[in-house]
Amino acid sequence: MEHNYIAESFETTVQWGEILVVCKASTEQIILSCKREGIKTRPFVTFRVSQIYDTCGTLYCYFGYSCEGLDDPVGTYSRIENEAREAVMKNGGSLSHHHGIGKIRKMFVPKIMPEMVTNMLAAIKKEWDPKNIFAANNIIG
């Protein structure tokens, strides 16, 4: 932050035939989101495949930008990443791979999981973890 630059990565799983589509769509979305958020310089966006499977690969998206002059750099980053993740999912990518869902991706659960499944998970969690100690407020509860 002392250099007025913010960067991070997120991962997804994508079928081989969709990797270039996901890269293009998420890059375009990041650039569009940065402009909308008032970021004056072009963001850095790149990708790598970290794990290889028969039908798909784990794709990491790395992006960063100058956050100089932004009132809320972390909130801005979150909005841009969420919009990029939406583009990933609209183009065949999954919500996550091995990093899971957790608190920061919880808002996407209704888009990827039927309510019946989340209700079932909530019932299991209530039975096994009635005090909500483990993974509190992650996917459910």
Residue of 123 and 110 predicted with greater confidence: 123
**Catalytic, out of 5, 53, 60, 77:** 60
DSSP string, the chain: -TTSEEEEEEEEEEEGGGHHHHHHHHHHHHHHHHHHTT--SPPEEEEEEEEE-SSEEEEEEEEEEE-TT-S-HHHHHHHHHHHHHHHHHHTT--S-STT--TTTTGGGHHHHS-HHHHHHHHHHHHHH-TT--TTTTSS--
pLDDT in tens, 49-88: 999 999 999 999 999 999 999 999 999 999 999 999 999 9
- Catalytic annotation present for 77: no
Reported as a single tens digit per residue, the pLDDT across 24-50 is 999 999 999 999 999 999 999 999 999
Q: Which pTM does this prediction carry?
A: 0.85
Percent of the chain with pLDDT over 70: 99
